[in-house]
Amino acid sequence: MPKSGRNKVSSLQDLADLAGVSRATASRALNDNPIISARTRKKLQALARKHGYSINRQARDFRLRRTSVISVVFMLDVESQQHMSDPFFLDMLGGIADALADHDYDLLLAHAPIANILDVKESRVMRQSDGVIFIGQEQQLEQLNQLAEDGQLMVVWGYPVPDKKYVVVGGDNVGGGYKATKHLLEIGRRKIGFFGATNNPENAARHEGYLKALSEYNVDPDPTLKVDVPFEMLRAREAIIDMLDSQVELDAVVCISDVMALATMSTLQELGLRVPQDISVVGYDDITLAAYSSPQLTTVRQNIRHAGRILVESVLGLINGENVPDTMLSSELIIRNSCGAK
């Protein structure tokens, strides 16, 4: 059996004894402290490898009074108290997890269970981690601000609203809305609707980009073309039908999300309208299904995995006492069939 005395060396002391040095020397050697002679260092490192020993992080973190843990808090939708399970969150989580692993941090997952985030303040999430990443700020500006003022190291995925007191990483929502709309204008559309609730900062920004593009093309925004479909979308279909019933002209739609866009497309098709021939549709997020719908959905993609990495770099920067700026990640228009060829 090639197993050479395993399971024996379980502490620094064991290793030190084995090497005939003190615990202190062993500790320094494994941490590559130059105060220890190169020979001793190599020797101990080799020994550690041979016996499959590695430093007990729990003990180390305890001694060093840190946790090596970053909490990730998923905010709940204020109204529905529901998880905002946009499909892309899992990707973002993946990005975060990878980045944290690279930096030797752990990821503690939680979600704000109550409307009042502050209730989380005294919880493990806050007390037992070196920093917190909030996903989705929604309308909870006040409470997030308060946490930030209490000295919590935190980064929020969302949109930099004016009075925020924390670091924000977010997509270029204005740019995304702008690109989507501009493309529709370029291919000749003029009666462009905007579907989706704009009651949170990110969506409002997308709408702002929409308006910006319209104004560049000297198209007056038509308020009747804006449909404020709520998050749940249960009534997306009705809202769309209502609008079409009211005889407005419409030749394109910018949607707040892919889910909304897919619901829109199927509603339109149901009503006998052709996408994109009669009406162009553009979504937002580039979820997996976007590529498999019929027609395939033109949409705005945010590099969500990369966003996860940036979020991590940001908290870690905070932990290191750096001055961390907000980050805005660019969005990219993915042109597929649902908008019609240029």
Footprint of DNA (CB under 7 A): 10-13, 16, 20-25, 27-28, 30-31, 35-37, 39-40, 55-56, 59-60, 62-65
- 97 interacts with, out of a copy of itself, DNA, none, CB within 5 to 8 A per kind: a copy of itself
> Measured from the CB of residue 258, what is the shortest distance to a copy of itself in angstroms?
9
What does the alpha-carbon distance between residue 88 and residue 198 come to, in Å, rounded to a whole number?
A: 20
Q: Is 134 in the site for a copy of itself (CB under 8 A)?
A: no
Q: Is 259 in the site for a copy of itself (CB under 8 A)?
A: yes
Residue closer to DNA, measured from CB, 27 or 71:
27
Q: Is 163 in the site for a copy of itself (CB under 8 A)?
A: no
Count of C-beta atoms within a 10 Å radius of residue 56: 12
Six-digit token pair at 239?
A: 């809202």
Q: How far apart are the first and last CA of the chain?
A: 69
Binding-site member from 91, 138, 202, 285 for a copy of itself (CB under 8 A): 91
Residue closer to DNA, measured from CB, 3 or 63:
63
Count of C-beta atoms within a 10 Å radius of residue 186: 11
> Could you tell me which residues come within 8 angstroms of residue 329 by beta carbon, excluding any fewer than 6 positions away?
169, 170, 171, 172, 302, 303, 306, 307, 310
> Measured from the CB of residue 152, what is the shortest distance to DNA in angstroms?
19
> Measured from the CB of residue 123, what is the shortest distance to DNA in angstroms?
15
- 24 interacts with, out of a copy of itself, DNA, none, CB within 5 to 8 A per kind: DNA
> Which range touches a copy of itself (CB under 8 A), out of 213-221, 248-256, 284-292, 313-321?
284-292
Q: Where are the beta strands (DSSP E) in the chain?
A: 69-74, 106-111, 131-135, 154-157, 167-171, 192-195, 226-227, 252-255, 280-284, 298-302, 327-329, 331-334
DSSP 3-state assignment of 1? Answer: coil
Q: Is 243 in the site for a copy of itself (CB under 8 A)?
A: no
What does the alpha-carbon distance between residue 93 and residue 304 come to, in Å, rounded to a whole number?
A: 9
Residue closer to DNA, measured from CB, 50 or 235:
50
Rounded-to-10 torsion of CA 45, 67, 113, 236: -50
Q: Is 93 in the site for a copy of itself (CB under 8 A)?
A: yes
Residue type present at position 18: L
* CA geometry: angle 286, 288, 291, nearest 5 deg: 75
> Measured from the CB of residue 20, what is the shortest distance to DNA in angstroms?
7
Q: Check: CB of residue 201 under 8 Å from CB of residue 158.
A: yes
Task: Determine if the peptide bond prior to 276 is cis (ω within 30°).
Answer: yes
Residue closer to a copy of itself, measured from CB, 134 or 178:
134
> Measured from the CB of residue 58, what is the shortest distance to DNA in angstroms?
7
Contact residues for a copy of itself, defined by CB under 8 A = 52, 54, 57-59, 61-62, 67, 69, 74, 83, 85, 87, 89-91, 93-94, 97, 101, 106-111, 122, 124, 127-128, 233, 236-237, 259, 262-263, 266-267, 269-270, 288-289, 292-294
